[in-house]
Amino acid sequence: MRINLKVAAAGMACAGAALAAVGAFLAFQGKYLFRSEPVLQQAEDTLEKRSLQSRTAHNSAFCRANLENDAQTDAYDAVAEYAFYDESEGFSVYGADKNDLNKAVNAFLNDHPEVFWIDSSSGYRYAEYDDSIYAELNFTESGSQLQSDRETLAAAVEAAAAGAPDNASDYEAECYLNDYLAERCAYNSDGENKHSSFGALVDGQAVCDGYSHAFQLLCQRLDIPCTVVEGNSDFNEDTEDGHMWNCVRLGENWYHVDVTWNDSLNAANGAEHYFYLNLTTAEIERDHEISGDYDHRFQNRGNFFNVFVPDCGSDEYNYMKRSFVTIKNPDDDEQILASLLSAARGQKSWCAYVIDDSADFDKISGEVINRYAADWIQGANHFTGGKPKIADSTKVVTYQNKRVIAFALEYENKQ
């Protein structure tokens, strides 16, 4: 059976995506009639399972640990003290200069995503002397209002943590947090608190640094090591706005996570919510630029810099490689069908596959669209007995830059 398909370019955030209708299916020809039902093989999660009760809030202060000298750590500690007052007050740091203070404030804010009340654009005022520097942090609010908003944010963090899976690994908890933010926060460049965790978790509106600080704060609450990374991306290559995302440590290895890009407003398929979950440095650098350290900040657009960026070389917990079945040969369809069948039984709206690096993406995706998609859907409907039945209005979305093929599943009789 060969299905003729109409292929059209789709206007979506992930470049290289194309959308195709699967088309009406002909009568079942019995390809799967005498086959036993395939069983999906899940990637093993070797990380420790932990109860929610044992997940106590923890801040590793990675940026502080990577400051260069005593002057910078002294400035950091002074900022850490005065940042938590109810009113902004001036302080002096002896032996420090403006560069030390700049690094310290950046490090502090990137270690403390709960601090939403320090102005993200100006940060602080200072006066430099021969043996010291005097500074005062720029608060955006103070007094009883600040105290109330701190409590509101803390309550929002606890509400998010309460919904996390119990007796779960850090990877499972991380996936929950990625979904939680994508469901409850919308990208909005006009939001009043768009640059902060407060904007993302309380207002439900933020831009990239708001998403990143919120994700970091939630990870810290669930005792998952996490930091933020400053830089640029392909989407803002013509501006000085910059971009921010996260690095998360799972077990002994670090991974890049971009929750902002996972929450694409123009997503054509649910698979897109996981494209930037646990990437290596080489993978993230395909469309992200990591800013250098303070001394090299002028080499990057926007004068951004990082105090700490971990090396991310493992793909063990890359979401796509763990959760999307890899296609090398479409005729070898045991796990391909098992994945689609599992999605149908769960009445999911999508099912995605990764085309193996050794295969020709255009050739394989063309074969899937023109032939195999119809066969696999017929097979899934055979094993479910049509309850639920995947509809012939189901479409296939291709993402050449991610080497992904995803089904946008629709059902005739969704329960």
- List the domain range (segments joined by +) for residue 376: 7-43+323-408
| 162 and 204 share one domain | yes
Dihedral, CA atoms, 289, 294, 300, 302, nearest 10 degrees?
A: 100
User: pLDDT value at position 30?
Assistant: 66
Q: Which of 67-76, 177-186, 188-197, 300-309 shows the lowest mean pLDDT across its residues?
A: 300-309
| Burial class of residue 20 (count of CB atoms within 10 Å of its CB; 0-12, 13-18, 19+) | buried
Does residue 48 belong to any structural domain of this protein?
no
What pLDDT is attached to residue 406? Answer: 97
Q: What is the mean pLDDT of residues 121-133?
A: 94
pLDDT tier at 17 (50, 70, 90 boundaries)? low
Sign of the Cα torsion 309, 315, 316, 320 reads: positive
Residue 27 — pLDDT band, cuts 50, 70, 90? Answer: very low
* Percentage with pLDDT > 90 across the chain: 83
Structure tokens that stand for 164 in this block: 């996390």
Domain assignment present for 144: no
Are residue 287 and residue 337 in the same domain, yes or no? no
Residue 267 lies in a domain: yes
Average pLDDT over residues 271-282: 97
Looking at the fold, whether 185 and 257 belong to one and the same domain comes out as yes
Residue 311 pLDDT > 50? yes
User: Do 267 and 355 have their domain in common?
Assistant: no
Q: Give the β-pairing of 404-408 and 395-399.
A: antiparallel
Helix (H, G, I), strand (E, B) or coil at 20: strand
Say if 147 falls within a structural domain: no
Give the model's pLDDT for residue 267.
78
Question: 146 pLDDT exceeds 90?
Answer: yes
The answer to whether position 219 is within a domain reads yes
The CA–CA distances, whole Å, from 5 to 22, 24, 88, 268, 379 equal 6, 10, 64, 18, 19
Q: Following CA atoms 112, 118, 121, 125 in sequence, which dihedral angle do they give, to the nearest 10 degrees?
A: -120
State the average pLDDT over residues 174-202: 96
Query: pLDDT by residue (tens digit) across 151-167?
Result: 999 999 999 999 999 99
- Does 92 lie in the same domain as 184? no
Residues 175 and 306 grouped into a single domain: yes
pLDDT band with cut points at 50, 70 and 90 for residue 2: very low
Task: Quote the number of domains for the chain.
Answer: 3
- Tens-digit pLDDT profile for residues 72-122: 999 999 999 999 999 999 999 999 999 999 999 999 999 999 999 999 888
**Same domain for 158 and 270:** yes
Same domain, 297 and 355: no
Q: Is the pLDDT of residue 265 over 80?
A: no
pLDDT tens profile 342-369? 999 999 999 999 999 999 999 999 999 9
CATH number at residue 188: 3.10.620
In terms of Cα–Cα distance, which of 99, 95, 114 is closest to 67? 99
Q: Is the dihedral of CA 267, 270, 273, 278 positive or negative?
A: negative
Question: Where among 319, 341, 365 does a domain terminate?
Answer: 319
- Note whether 314 and 327 are same-domain residues: no
Q: Of 339, 115, 291, which Cα lies nearest the Cα of 214?
A: 115
- Among 257, 284, 319, give the residue marking a domain's end: 319
Q: Is residue 68 part of a domain?
A: yes
Q: Is residue 142 part of a domain?
A: no
Domain membership flag for residue 52? no
Residue 262 has pLDDT above 70, yes or no: yes
Of 94, 110, 137, which closes a domain? Answer: 137
Q: What is the pLDDT of residue 296?
A: 85
pLDDT of residue 293: 93
Q: Are 95 and 71 in contact (CB under 8 A)?
A: yes
User: Do 167 and 260 reside in the same domain of the chain?
Assistant: yes
Mean pLDDT computed over 283-302: 87
pTM of the model: 0.91
Q: Both 306 and 197 in a single domain?
A: yes
Maximum Cα–Cα distance across the chain:
86
Q: How far is CA 14 from CA 1, 65, 265, 314, in A?
A: 31, 36, 11, 23
Q: Specify whether 315 is located in the same domain as 386.
A: no
